Amino acid sequence: MVIDPSERGRYPRLSIVHGVYIVRKFSRLSLLSLALVMPGLAFAQNGGTLQKIKETGTITIGYRESSAPFSYLDDNQKPIGYAMDICMKVVDAVQAELKLPNLKVELTPVTSSNRIPLMANGTVDLECGSTTNNADRQKQVAFTNTHFLTASIFVAKKSANLHRIADLKGKTVVSTAGSTNIGQLNKVNAEQNLGINIVPGKDHAEGLLMVETGRAAAFVMDDVIIAGLVAVSKDPAMYANGDEAFSKPEPYGVMLRKDDPSFKALVDATTAKLYKTEGEALYAKWFTKQIPPKGINMNLPLTPAMKKALQNPSDNPDPASYRG
């Protein structure tokens, strides 16, 4: 899609190309086809991500369509959010490092299921969303410094009177395909012999919709994602969160390719500086103030653990390392 130059305030760091801002939006099928045919555009052979960006004059950002307030679409179908703001700071750093005043930014939608493959094969250079950094994923991809801490919970209709994980016994429960949450749900289901019918949803929005329409009794997802989805739902008062978590607080990070030390060093240095100097203000912008498009407020004040994470930047996947 083409973004009019008047939209520059929304994307202050996108380069002008022939008088317009250009954002190519591929279908998921097209993305997967491209991933199979042209894996990474030979980024590894060309010296890594920075070399790839220098040769193509383009940096590709993977974004989420319904992961508010991290990365989601506004009323004009433009991706915005906390993680998008962070990634645009990285774009600035790449532009300066490579001396590319006309660096183009290509925005590509990704899902929980395809984000890691599309990162690993070079289709996207940064994934800016709500992706949990854990030891298993670090075997496939890399992460920059932590920008949020979250826990996995469930949400259900208040009328269902579901409070504890055990209350889900024998019920149909949805969680997003490709997420850590569905793995945690499967683990608890087996360990506690709950007999839950676990249904994978294509994305977060579908998960809550299944609860709304009665196709599932509960939706398991990160607490902050649930908060955002409920806040913009038709009737927020309809829902209630469970009292138990499926996990300890886990770190989110911007994802990048594994075994690319020069690019990771640049991204780590950029995010570390950003979090130490502007991190609290950026957090407040998206978590304690009204955000577009509906002016909702997440009402999630900065916790001691989150403040510590911003002031002591780290890509450590161990939740225990982030105690406040």
pLDDT tens track of the chain, all 324 residues? 323 333 434 444 443 232 233 333 334 434 443 333 344 444 444 579 999 999 999 999 999 999 999 999 999 999 999 999 999 999 999 999 999 999 999 999 999 999 999 999 999 999 999 999 999 999 999 999 999 999 999 999 999 999 999 999 999 999 999 999 999 999 999 999 999 999 999 999 999 999 999 999 999 999 999 998 998 899 999 999 999 999 888 999 999 999 999 999 999 999 999 999 999 999 999 999 999 998 989 888 899 999 999 999 999 999 999 987
Are 115 and 194 contained in the same domain? Answer: no
Q: What is the largest CA-CA distance in the chain?
A: 60
Are 17 and 110 contained in the same domain? Answer: yes
Domain harbouring 82, CATH code: 3.40.190.10
Nearest alpha-carbon partner for 234 in 220, 219, 213: 213
Tokens of 68: 């508010």
HSE-CB at 157 with a 13 A cutoff on CA atoms is: 13
**Domain stops at, among 224, 241, 258:** 241
Are 87 and 124 contained in the same domain? Answer: yes
Quote the Cα angle for 227-8-64, to 5°.
Answer: 30
Are 128 and 172 contained in the same domain? Answer: no
> CA–CA separation, 320 vs 271, rounded Å?
21
Question: pLDDT value at position 46?
Answer: 54
**Domain stops at, among 188, 219, 241:** 241
The boundaries of the domain holding residue 74 are: 2-150+250-322
Are 260 and 119 contained in the same domain? Answer: yes
Are 121 and 35 contained in the same domain? Answer: yes
- Total of domains in the chain: 2
Q: Structure pTM?
A: 0.78
Secondary structure of the chain as H, E, C letters? CEECHHHHHCCCCCCCECCEEECCCCCHHHHHHHHHHCHHHHCCCCCCHHHHHHHHCEEEEEECCEECCCEEECCCCCEECHHHHHHHHHHHHHHHHHCCCCCEEEEEECCCCCHHHHHHCCCCCEEECCCECCCCHHHCEEEEEEEEEECEEEEEEHHHCCCCHHHHCCCEEEEECCCHHHHHHHHHHHHCCCCCEEEEECCHHHHHHHHHCCCCCEEEEEHHHHHHHHHCCCCHHHEEECCCCCCCCEEEEEEEECCCHHHHHHHHHHHHHHHHHHHHHHHHHHHCCEECCCCEECCCCCCHHHHHHHHCCCCCCCHHHHCC
Are 237 and 311 contained in the same domain? Answer: no
Question: pLDDT value at position 323?
Answer: 83
